[in-house]
Amino acid sequence: MTSRTSDHRTASLRELAENRSLPAHQVMDQDTLAWIAGNRPEASAAPPTLPHPPLMLVPDVTWFAQPQLVDSIHGIRHNARVSLLAGLLAQEHGLDRDHTAALCAAAAVHDCQRRDDRDDPGHGRRAAGWFTRNQHAVATVLGRELPPDLSQQAATAIGLHDVPYTAFTSQQNLAYQRAPHLIDLLKAADCLDRYRLPLSRWWPDPSQLRIVIPVWLHPVAFDLVIRSEQARLNGATNRGALIYASQLLNPHQ
């Protein structure tokens, strides 16, 4: 394996963020990850015993609009972790098998049509269009076809994941009423993976959500970031890094 540890002659993401000079494409580096690891949230509650392993979809490299995004902070690892976190939230909220699959599929796709790692308004809408056109590709990774109505709800959730609730138009509010659970849970799962970002003021802000995130899930989300990003920096493949990170939820596997 080839190490991906960053060249220390270049500025870290954290330094670039502090200087407000983040580039369009942002890849995790060792210095930034060390700072993140040193600021772990308190674990005020232990994770519950899961009835079954949560679903995690790992998006294919061909799903991304820009090749530079595949390994970036909005790339394969982010989308897969959000899928895993969505699966955990689905269990917490008692979603059935079909709704869980739709939610996790939406999570795996939600950022795949970004053009860069900045705000990129409209990337949710573009990803929703991609999902609608490429449902077979997603179903192949998922291992099953989604019912048509749930495919439509998943596309709606993808399309609204990057729009704050307070910015919903009247049309978006109507769309929200057709898929509130998927939208709320996708937004929450995406929010939980913000521990990967290089400034703490960008970390999860539950006040922006419409559901309550269980207290045990914050340190789990944090550890998923640390384990998967460190494994990738150490030379693991994206899939290998994600599988290693997910083992914290089932240490006996």
Per-residue pLDDT of the chain (253 residues; tens, 9 = 90+): 444 544 445 899 999 999 999 999 999 999 999 999 999 988 777 777 777 788 899 999 999 999 999 999 999 999 999 999 999 999 999 999 999 999 999 999 999 999 999 999 999 999 999 999 999 999 999 999 999 999 999 999 999 999 999 999 999 999 999 999 999 999 999 999 999 999 999 999 999 999 999 999 999 999 999 999 999 999 999 999 999 999 998 755 4
Give the separation between CA 33 and CA 14, rounded to whole angstroms: 9
To the question of domain 53-249 being in CATH 1.10.3210, the answer is yes
Question: Can you give the pLDDT at residue 9?
Answer: 55
62: number of Cβ within 10 Å: 10
Q: Look at residue 251 in the predicted model and tell me its pLDDT.
A: 56
**pLDDT computed for residue 54 by the predictor:** 86
